Amino acid sequence: MKIFTFLIPMLSLLFVNVAFAQPSASEKKVFMTNEATINSEGLEYSPAFLEDGIVFISTKTAAKRFKIKDTRIGKNIMSIFQAQREENGLLKTPVPFAIELLSTVHEGPLTFDRTADNMFFTRNNIKNGKKRKAKDGIVKLKIYSAEKIGDDWKNIEELPFNDNESSAMHPSISIEGDALYFASDRPGGFGGMDIYVAFRRGGVWSEPENLGAAVNTESDEVFPFIHADGTLYFSSSGHSGFGGLDLFSSRNNGGVWNSPVNLATPFNSENDDFGFIIDRDKKNGYLSSNRNGGRGGDDIYSFYVFEGLDKTLGTEVKESKTLTFLISDLETGTMMENAKVSYTDIDNLTFSNAINAISQEGSEGEDLILRMPLDDNAPGGLTDSFGKFPLTLESGNYVVIIEKEGFESQQIIVNTSNEEGEIFISLDKPRPNEDNGSMAGNEDSSTTTNDDGSTSTNSDGSSTDGSGTDGTNSTNNTDDTFIDDGGEYVDDGTGIETVDDAFPSTIREGTVFQLPNIYYNFNDASIRPDAKIDLDALASFLNSYTDIEIELSSHTDSRGGTRYNRKLSQKRANSAVEYLISRGVDSYRLEPIGYGEGQLRNHCSDGVDCSEVEHQYNRRTEVKITKMNQEINIRFVTDDDAPITVDNYDSGSSSSSTSSYSGSGSGDYTVVAGVFKDFDNAVTRNEKLQSLGYASEIANRSETYTIVVGVYSDFQDAMSAVQTLKSEYQIRSFIKR
């Protein structure tokens, strides 16, 4: 059924249906689940994030006195329900939300401000508790506000731009709380329902403004959701889509809204898709749909986007920078032609989620070997006759690998925000008993940071500011802010703090590293399923190094009240620590601290106009080593040096296109033919294997895709498969146990 029928008169809708023959790229990278616990045979729709779960609208009966049937739709009136999440990430059985808000008319979609102390919600027009009909005999919808005082919602007020002859519904408040988006059929629109925005200036709401012809059509645009980064998501029956209501996104550039982008499958179906919300990091969210296979009329679905929504849809906007690598022969000083320069993005390969790729180095000490997920398709190229190779990189952190036959390869960390111009690298010839591919072991390598902003490496593998200083990692920042090679904050007295986002080369007391894959929904402190991968890895590390004690801290951006931010961040830190304890880490080794907005990493304090990206830089979860007996050195090597067997392999979560491989038996030896960050590269490798007759599959584990060739009960059988792949097909593989 159409979700409007209980809200406004039945609309004559002409739905445009465009055939999309091939499944979209997003469909391959999104895991979507029907939230069966909260869905019923009736209607459940329009979720909103709130305190470790969601609130939503349902035809369930909230209480006996609200058992009132709407004869037009043949279902009970709409009421507001709440469902919190279990530890495993699934939603619990829903309960009525805020009984003091419920009435004998429909309660519709709602939105909360960032502190969750104020809300805006839809309700039929009532006066003194009685329905108030418009001239056409229909009870219109209006938007109301309410304030949380103690444990109750009070001070319910009608917003001033409502009127009795048209409907206003589906509110969504901006992150700053100064703009309210909503749908309305008020006069002066383009036809049907249009999306409007009203601005709050000095505590007073402005007259609503129509978003214009780019967004609105002669049909219906409804259920707006304004993301923290300013992206508008909404449903439309007027823009070209799959049929019914489709989900779209649009951005505002200089006061002009862009042409909407269809979110494609699996977000859209041939039926109605609406009520879309997504978290700050654009990875986890919910939507409503009456698509085939649901439990009732409208169901709520949760989804997880492996690579983030913008990247998956191709709408990601990132700055790029061109760096020129100059490669020379260390012994002769001549520039080196045809040296291979390749790279891999390590923004998601931080210490915690790389633990499963780290193995302890023999019996000689505390070295850790980090196996980089480089593959045959790693991008790059060859230097020219002048030893130059220009490399254009999007903003982020990378490992760049320089190789030349007859020379020791080098791997360096590149943070694009810290690099400008040219980077000089000298390669040395191999020496006996030296570990090729080590990032920190080339004693003769030399890299220096020059006056033009280029950098080079010293003989000890450290970097310097070019003035002969003490060899710790530092930068040529004009403010002289110092960053030590443990990656911790150091204040130079200017009040400016910075942090090295690159992977630390040594772990010691005071080392701070970030856990960027631990995400929280809006106003939420619960541990989400995708965050558990990082925390499980951290628990594994702490259980291996039992002398280490840590501080686990949570930080927010500056928006919202200082007290609220500190309380929320403390709850988040507590949740993470409780999870680590459940994984066998002793509580005395863990100290949770919520700093709120007390340790901002940039200028985005209260009242400063900043982008969502700048605010996101301040929202983080960090681990600081507060006690340990012996430093740990980290060395980087490529997959060529990967061990034949690796313990404790876990293929991770599954989706319609990536799965946990079960094979034909319950063997102990899994043959893996590559770990890829790029999904399309993984597909290419998997298709090649399948063309050779292998029943291979793609297993997703957080941000990477693992090609599982097969599972074997006998080690020799697994080893034979590895050797066959290498000798006959030149495909590298290894065994995980």
Least confident span in 98-112, 482-496, 536-550, 601-615 = 482-496
pLDDT value at position 318?
A: 66
* Surface-to-core class of residue 678, CB atoms within 10 Å of its CB (0-12 exposed, 13-18 middle, 19+ buried): middle
- Cβ count within 10 A of residue 179: 17
pLDDT value at position 356?
A: 42
pLDDT value at position 249?
A: 96
Beta strands in 429-547 (DSSP E): 506-507, 512-514
Q: Which residues contact 680 (CB under 8 A, 6 or more apart)?
A: none
pLDDT value at position 342?
A: 85
Residue 678 vs residue 144, higher pLDDT: 144
Q: Which amino acid is at 127?
A: K
Domain 643-736: homologous superfamily in CATH: Sporulation related repeat (3.30.70.1070)
- Cβ count within 10 A of residue 255: 6
Residue 191 has phi, psi (to 5 degrees) of 130, 145
- % of residues, the chain, pLDDT over 90: 31
480-635 matches 25-313 in CATH topology: no
30 in helix, strand or coil?
Answer: strand
CA separation for the pair 645, 387 (Å, rounded): 38
pLDDT value at position 31?
A: 86
CA separation for the pair 186, 591 (Å, rounded): 55
CA separation for the pair 424, 615 (Å, rounded): 34
Q: Domain 480-635 is in which class? A: alpha beta
Asked whether residue 614 carries a pLDDT value surpassing 60, the answer given is yes
Beta bridge partners of 58: 44, 79
Asked whether residue 497 carries a pLDDT value surpassing 60, the answer given is no
Q: Which helix (H) or strand (E) holds 632?
A: strand 632-637
Q: Which amino acid is at 439?
A: M
Mean pLDDT within 27-35:
81
Where do the structural domains in the chain lie, given as residue ranges? 25-313, 480-635, 643-736
Residue 121 has phi, psi (to 5 degrees) of -145, 160
Asked whether residue 575 carries a pLDDT value surpassing 70, the answer given is yes
Which CATH number describes the domain made up of 25-313?
Answer: 2.120.10.30
CA separation for the pair 594, 564 (Å, rounded): 11
CA separation for the pair 149, 418 (Å, rounded): 47
* Surface-to-core class of residue 441, CB atoms within 10 Å of its CB (0-12 exposed, 13-18 middle, 19+ buried): middle
Residue 143 vs residue 64, higher pLDDT: 143
Please give the model's pTM, rounded to 2 decimal places: 0.61
Crossing angle of the two packed helices 562-582 and 529-544, in degrees rounded to 10: 60
Q: What's the mean pLDDT when you consider all of the chain?
A: 75
- Both tokens of residue 496? 């400016």
SS3 of 217-274: the string is: CCCCEEEEEECCCCCEEEEECCCCECCCCEEEEECEECCEECCCEECCCCCCCCCCEE
- Both tokens of residue 221? 């645009």
- Cβ count within 10 A of residue 636: 22
At 647-664, the pLDDT tens digits run 223 333 333 233 333 333
